[in-house]
Amino acid sequence: MDSALRGAYRGKSLLLTGGTGFLGTALVEKILRSLPDLGRLYLLVRASGEKNAGDRFEKDVLGSAAFRNLRESRGEGFGDYVAGKVRVLEGDVHAPGLGLGEDDLSELSREVDIVVHSAASVIFDAPLDAAVGSNVEGTLGLLRLARGWERKPLFMHISTAYVSGTQEGLVLEKPPGSTTPNGTTLDPRDEVASLEGIVAEVERASRERDLTRRFASEAETELGMVGSEEEVAGRADQLRRAWMRERLVERGTVRARELGWHDVYTFTKSLAERMVLLERGESPLIILRPAIIESSHREPYPGWIQGSRMADPIIMAFAKGLLREFPGDPESLVDLVPVDHVVNAVLAAAIRRPVEPEVFQVASGERNPLRYRDFYEHVREYFIQKPLRDSGGRPIPVAEWSFPGRARVEGFLKAEILGLNIAGKVVSRLPDGHVAADLRQRIARADKRAKMSLYYSRIYGAYANMASTFSTARTAQLYKELLPEDQHEFPFDITDLDWREYLHTTHLPALTTKPGRKRRKQPASKEPGEVAAIFDVDGTLVGSNVVSYYAWLRLRELPPAKRPLWLASFLPKIPYYWALDKVSRAHFNRAFYKNYAGWKPERARRLGRESFEGFTLQRIFPEALARLRAHKEAGHRVVLLSGALDFLLEPMKDLADDVLCASLEEENGAYTGELAGAPVAGDARARMLASFARRRKVDLSRSYAYADSISDLPMLEAVGNPVAVNPDRRLKAAAEERGWPVRHWDKDGTPLKTPKKV
């Protein structure tokens, strides 16, 4: 029997925003897999950095593991099938006319039957201007266009169940009224105008004379006496914008809590709901409110997840032994819902054309409740049975929580941070040596743990103390009205889940499986994957580090007379960077790369090219070069994987088949000093390697990796043949415990003869 739901989409066209996000990617996959008769799927995708919209769709969406089953089922016809169904439009919901040309807008007006608006800022402590711009103004810009289109499309706004804020009791599936969660009367238009006034006020304040002088002074101090005028001005403006961001985060949070919301995210999502109700005109409107969206239950395969969801940082911090207690009411509901349930509910609801606005809540608390205490017990039981392991391979014990309440937990953490601050000042006065260095590292780690716990408590604590339950009666009825074959093809009955089974067999394994450690089963007809040799660069291939490179680049440009002045300003910072690197390579990279703020990319690339001949060649380890050549002769794919910046590694690309590294964000033709993506260190490096291996069909179990630092341990663990090269103390201990080869290469070593076997 033909599916009624499939039939409802036959020949229709759908416009989706937010298609590169977690929910959006799952929606695209499900539409392409289960709605083959859909006429056209339009995706509005914003260009990002050097990626245009088409590149983002290919790499971020189709490159996701979510599509592996669809790729296999479609075989060689996958690309043609997608091209025939999907049209990617490069635009932006924040831009006038979505940033599209007249021809594209005319096509959307003629063709689109359904608009699903999923794009949003989901950061709980976002600056007020960013949250309003994304969640309110972006939504209204799209609605105002769509309501005038020829086909009068349904407008579906993806909101969140947590727009209920501090409301207690049963939260019904109905549009918001005229009051806020704490009963304050609210005119949404006046409120949006007031928030825009706050943003303008903070902007004006940031440009007051006293502040601009302060920012300029701080910039001069940071960049030293020889910083160029352009660099100082750029850094001063970054400090001004950082000051603005901090105030806008604070003002947005304060205003949200004044009105009964937990944070600026739920506040602005509720404002968006209220504004679309006011401005929808004659457009059919559906508001869909998911609770906490987590990994898939069944589709595209059990446990598919992308990024880190709301509950995941807390789960992982607990598993790593970083959270000794988390403030929550053990009897409150943890309202999780798998992403495939949300996707199927979206598709079931989107065929409706209601005369009056409808609301559907996709949540679990009413019909399949998961209490915070039970959630904790399930998670703890899992990590007792399958603990994470520390850098030395030892199991990490998990804490036993007593649920003392939010006030006591946060009070203890504040006292701990104060004590650590005092201890840090005392230790800073001790004579340099191994004991003092070890104490500083211990204090730094404890301080990081306490601050992280306090941050999680402030951001997520309210969600672990909910006094409300989201009604899902209308969503349950929507599912009940589907034909049996559609219920099978598009399931979203939350009562089907057994929470312990879902957490133990699906969600927690998805969060904790190390990249590269779990080999995918390949069909017998497929050839084995390629063997790669992955080389870390600094300390492994080259006897240098990012600090030395930066110093060389800066001194290269300066007249000889100014070099001592620059060195005098820079050298006192090195102990700080050294200590930060010992605590966390990722934190070190983020902090150190701020030195490149204001640099023009052309300048950086020019200096990077000059550094290869003037600096790098003198420091390459001959034995490393010989080993690299041996791998090439053996037919292996040689990969350089480094946390160093792209313009420094670009001259080395002839040494390898691939170079994977870090890059900096650009703004107005200059580097901001912020990394474009996560630092290439620790688990992030292993994830990058695993992603690369999937794309290039590399068999990590047969591959080699060479690295020198404990921060490289996850990368080394991801391959079948790890080698510790010039290892630091902790990596050496880990390598010896695991029985890995340990090699010592230096600049004076005689290059090895190219061996026939590696």
pLDDT digits (tens, 9 = 90+) for 510-560: 888 744 333 334 444 345 678 999 999 999 999 988 888 888 988 888 888
Query: Can you read off the two tokens belonging to residue 171?
Result: 């939260």
Statement to judge: residues 382 and 356 lie in one domain: no
Domain assignment present for 523: no
pLDDT at 45: 93
What is the average pLDDT across 707-721? 89
What is the average pLDDT across 222-232? 70
pLDDT at 528: 65
pTM over cut 0.75: no
Statement to judge: residues 115 and 242 lie in one domain: no
Statement to judge: residues 162 and 238 lie in one domain: no
Instruction: Indicate if the pLDDT at residue 43 is higher than 90.
Output: yes
pLDDT at 755: 37
Query: With bands split at pLDDT 50, 70 and 90, how would you rate the model's confidence at 752?
Result: very low
C-alpha span between 728 and 426 (Å, rounded): 27
pLDDT at 224: 63
Output the domain CATH number for residue 578: 3.40.50.1000
pLDDT at 290: 97
Domain assignment present for 319: no
Query: With bands split at pLDDT 50, 70 and 90, how would you rate the model's confidence at 198?
Result: very high
What is the average pLDDT across 128-134? 93
pLDDT at 515: 43
Statement to judge: residues 600 and 707 lie in one domain: yes
Domain assignment present for 756: no
pLDDT at 561: 87
Q: Domain boundary at 415, 437, 464, which? A: 464
Pair 44, 54: CB distance under 8 Å:
no
Cis bond upstream, residue 300 (ω within 30) = yes
pLDDT at 437: 64
Statement to judge: residues 174 and 74 lie in one domain: yes
Q: Quick one: CA dihedral 127, 128, 133, 135, positive or negative?
A: positive
Q: What Rg, from alpha-carbon coordinates, does the chain have?
A: 27
pLDDT at 524: 40
Statement to judge: residues 360 and 379 lie in one domain: no
pLDDT at 438: 66
pLDDT at 432: 57
Instruction: Indicate if the pLDDT at residue 674 is higher than 80.
Output: yes
Q: Which helix (H) or strand (E) holds 562?
A: none
Instruction: Indicate if the pLDDT at residue 405 is higher than 50.
Output: yes
φ/ψ (deg, to 5) at 594:
-65, -20
Instruction: Indicate if the pLDDT at residue 221 is higher than 80.
Output: no
* Count of Cβ atoms closer than 10 Å to residue 178 Cβ: 10
Output the domain CATH number for residue 107: 3.40.50.720
Query: Can you read off the two tokens belonging to residue 99?
Result: 């940033």
pLDDT at 307: 73
Domain assignment present for 481: yes
Strand-pair partners of 40: 13
pLDDT mean across residues, the chain: 88
Q: For residue 385, what are the CA distances in angstroms to 317, 380, 382? A: 17, 9, 5
Statement to judge: residues 426 and 565 lie in one domain: no
Domain assignment present for 511: no
What is the average pLDDT across 3-14? 93
φ/ψ (deg, to 5) at 724:
-90, 120
What is the average pLDDT across 683-698? 86
Q: Which helix (H) or strand (E) holds 15?
A: strand 13-17
Domain with 222 in it? 201-253
The string of DSSP letters for 650-705 reads GGGGGG-SEEEEE-EEEETTEEEEEESSS-SSHHHHHHHHHHHHHHHTB-GGG-EE
Q: Which helix (H) or strand (E) holds 278?
A: helix 264-279
pLDDT at 291: 96
What is the average pLDDT across 606-635? 90
Statement to judge: residues 593 and 711 lie in one domain: yes
Instruction: Indicate if the pLDDT at residue 64 is higher than 80.
Output: yes
Q: For residue 474, what are the CA distances in angstroms to 117, 171, 359, 477? A: 21, 12, 8, 5
Number of separate domains in the chain = 4
Q: Quick one: CA dihedral 428, 430, 436, 442, positive or negative?
A: negative
> Tell me: the pLDDT tens digits for 352-370?
999 999 999 999 999 999 9
What is the average pLDDT across 495-509? 95
Per the model's pLDDT, the better-predicted residue between 311 and 203 turns out to be 203
User: Among 144-153, 202-211, 225-234, 586-595, which is the least confidently predicted range?
Assistant: 225-234
Q: What percent of the chain has pLDDT over 70?
A: 93
Q: For residue 87, what are the CA distances in angstroms to 54, 90, 104, 138, 181? A: 9, 10, 11, 21, 40
